[in-house]
């Protein structure tokens, strides 16, 4: 708070005080009061006004300067009422009480939202688990009828199962820290599990899978890593190029401070303009409109999981040639449970 701003804000008060002083001088003169007494009364009035305004300005300036400084330094600005002391002037007390009431109301709304969000997430997880039972039964029935339509039904059921998994992992990704176990995980075994799960889809697409250098272990959660690689696999099998045999190459590279897992395909590729946004929520890009309908959620969930697990992820691509996704696993023992 600046003195000039304070004076401008109080200008109406000074005009009224000046008018009152003028009327007082007029009556004192009319009653023939001595000029010395009039001067003495004016001096007392002006000095009293000056000290009263100066004290009021200093009290308010201290409070508002402290409020502004602490507000600027807070990331969560709604906590400002916890950082300041209740002032000793009426306007400040009203402001302080209003901040407390507003924060209380906001906390109640946030708590209500969290409860509703948690209930909805629990319902989604329960629904996914329930719907997996009939899907598994239908897959078994289709498997027992190995004709042309049986294979097609199996493939469509596998896609439904993948989409339900995507819903489940998305619901859990917001609180992944409650559901993961960080330990040394074999890349070779994880990739093998993903390949087995997607074997029929790869066969129908005529795709081959090549691996190299996977005899490494990384610190991660194996279940979540399988899901991420499954998303990569689904995208690779979705965005293939006609008259070109799909080839998926999965390799690992060990550096001094990290291990890089490369997932590369020879599919349609990603336009250069779309690469910076491939991990954005609900972003489908040009391929999502050209090749098939897409939700744009798969890579977003993968990026979210990588952030929570402490992994890095990047994408590189050339239109019509290849797409390569790389997950970086840090080499450290931060997550290991020490005896």
Cα–Cα distance between 219 and 138 in angstroms, integer? 36
Cα–Cα distance between 286 and 300 in angstroms, integer? 16
Q: Kindly report, residue by residue over 72-109, the tens digit of the pLDDT.
A: 888 877 778 788 888 888 888 888 888 888 888 888 88
Of the ranges 173-182, 205-214, 218-227, 319-328, which one carries the lowest mean pLDDT score? 173-182
Of the ranges 53-57, 175-179, 247-251, which one carries the lowest mean pLDDT score? 175-179
| DSSP H helical ranges for the chain | 3-9, 11-30, 35-72, 80-83, 90-144, 148-173, 187-197, 199-205, 222-238, 285-290, 298-309
Whether the pLDDT of residue 338 is over 60: the answer is no
Tell me which residue of 244, 247, 233 sits closest to 325, measured CA to CA. 233
Give residue 240's pLDDT: 86
Residues 60, 84 contacting (CB under 8 angstroms): no
Residues 217, 186 contacting (CB under 8 angstroms): yes
Whether the pLDDT of residue 123 is over 50: the answer is yes
Cα–Cα distance between 270 and 289 in angstroms, integer? 12
Predicted TM-score (pTM) above 0.85: no
Domains annotated for the chain, with CATH where assigned, are 3-85 (no CATH), 184-330 (3.30.565.10)
Give residue 337's pLDDT: 41
Contacts of 96 (CB under 8 A, 6+ apart): 81, 84, 86, 87
Q: Percent of the chain at pLDDT above 90? A: 19
Contacts of 41 (CB under 8 A, 6+ apart): 24, 28
- pLDDT mean across residues, the chain: 83
């Amino acid at each position: 708070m600046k003195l000039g701003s304070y004076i401008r804000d109080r200008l109406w008060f000074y005009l009224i005080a000046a008018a009152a002083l003028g009327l007082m001088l007029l009556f004192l003169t009319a009653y023939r009061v001595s000029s010395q007494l009039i001067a003495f009364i004016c001096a007392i009035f002006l000095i009293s006004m000056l000290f009263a305004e100066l004290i009021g300005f200093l009290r308010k300036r201290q409070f508002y300067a402290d409020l502004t400084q602490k507000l600027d330094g807070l990331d969560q600005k709604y906590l400002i009422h916890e950082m300041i002391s209740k002032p000793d002037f009426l306007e400040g007390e009203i402001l302080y009480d209003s901040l407390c009431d507003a924060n209380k109301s906001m906390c109640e709304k946030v708590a209500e939202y969290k409860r509703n969000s948690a209930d909805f997430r629990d319902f989604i997880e329960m629904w996914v688990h329930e719907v997996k039972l009939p899907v598994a039964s239908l897959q078994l029935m289709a498997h027992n009828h190995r004709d042309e339509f049986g294979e097609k039904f199996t493939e469509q059921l596998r896609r439904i199962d993948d989409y339900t998994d995507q819903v489940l992992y998305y619901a859990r990704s917001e609180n992944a820290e409650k559901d993961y176990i960080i330990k040394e995980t074999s890349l070779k075994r994880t990739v093998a599990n993903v390949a087995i799960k997607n074997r029929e889809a790869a066969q129908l697409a005529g795709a081959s899978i090549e691996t190299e250098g996977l005899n490494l272990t990384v610190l991660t959660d194996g279940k979540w890593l399988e899901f991420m690689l499954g998303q990569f696999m689904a995208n690779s099998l979705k965005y293939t190029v006609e008259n070109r045999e799909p080839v998926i190459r999965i390799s690992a590279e060990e550096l001094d401070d990290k291990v890089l897992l490369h997932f590369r395909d020879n599919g349609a590729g990603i336009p250069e303009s779309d690469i910076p946004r491939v991990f954005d929520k609900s972003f489908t890009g040009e391929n999502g409109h050209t090749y098939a309908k897409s939700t744009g959620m798969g890579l977003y969930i993968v990026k979210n999981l990588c952030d929570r697990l402490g992994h890095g992820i990047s994408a590189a691509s050339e239109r019509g040639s290849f797409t390569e996704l790389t997950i970086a696993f840090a080499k450290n023992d931060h997550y290991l449970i020490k005896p």
